Amino acid sequence: MNFMTENQPKKPSKSDRTRAQILEAARLLFAEHGYDGASIRDVAAHASIDPAMVIRYFRSKDELFARAAVVDLQLPALRVIDRNTIGETLIRRFLEIWEGPASGPGMAILLRSATSNEFAAEKLRDVFANQVRPVVAAVADPADAGRRAGLVSSQLLGLAMCRYLLRLPPVVALSHDEIIRTVGPTLQRYAAGEDAP
């Protein structure tokens, strides 16, 4: 009967609110301290609730993390992509995802834990294969779209690492314009450049 509430979004029945509070606290703490660094007790404290409730609503820490680590990059539809500006398009969307007004901690959650948590790593590879790769495949020979998307991801994940997780001072100091002007051309060449593999 709880299953119905998803199909009939009429009742935000009190439990849904605390459920959302837990998930929000979890996303925040997972993004900031990683899977191991954020304990269930920390999440519960941040949601002003008992640790047992976290397990009640989500069955385990793993499942809570799985629910928290949902990422939708909302990359442009394939038909709208211009082959000549794909680099700039990607880096602009990158900045929106990480710093835009509607930005969520989704990518930070994955990236923070991907180095020591196999589930997070697999989820990140999924994002690459199902969200980044198709976009690159729309502007390049699908035969080596994987390679090109891999190079694009290496630059974007590296930039995210340095700017948002590692917080390397000179990379933090970069303005949006600087980033677009320097990294954009790199992505353009990786995604749609004419050099042979």
Partner DNA sequence: TCCATTTGTCAACGATTGTTGACTTTTTAG
Partner DNA sequence: CTAAAAAGTCAACAATCGTTGACAAATGGA
By CB under 8 A, name the binding residues for its own copies: 33-34, 36-37, 111-116, 121, 124-125, 128, 146-147, 149-151, 153-159, 161-163, 165-171, 173-174, 178, 181-183, 185-186, 189-190, 195, 197
CB of 137 to its own copies, least distance (A): 12
> Which is closer to DNA, CB of 46 or CB of 56?
56
Q: Which stretch binds DNA (CB under 7 A): 53-61, 118-126, 171-179, 185-193?
A: 53-61
Site for DNA in 102-131 (CB under 7 A): none
* 10 contacts DNA (rule: CB under 7 A): no
> Which is closer to its own copies, CB of 80 or CB of 173?
173
Distance CA 98, CA 100 (A): 6
Residue 79 binds: one of DNA, its own copies, none (C-beta under 5 to 8 A by kind): none
Site for DNA in 60-99 (CB under 7 A): 60-62
Q: What are phi and psi of 106, to 5 degrees?
A: -50, -55
Please identify which residue in 31, 42, 91, 163 interacts with DNA, judged by CB under 7 A.
Answer: 42
Distance of alpha carbon 183 from its chain centroid, rounded? 19
Up-side HSE of residue 105: CA atoms within 13 Å toward CB? 20
Please identify which residue in 23, 25, 28, 54 interacts with DNA, judged by CB under 7 A.
Answer: 54
Residue 50 binds: one of DNA, its own copies, none (C-beta under 5 to 8 A by kind): DNA
Interacting residue ranges for DNA, rule: CB under 7 A: 1-2, 13-15, 18, 39-42, 49-56, 59-62
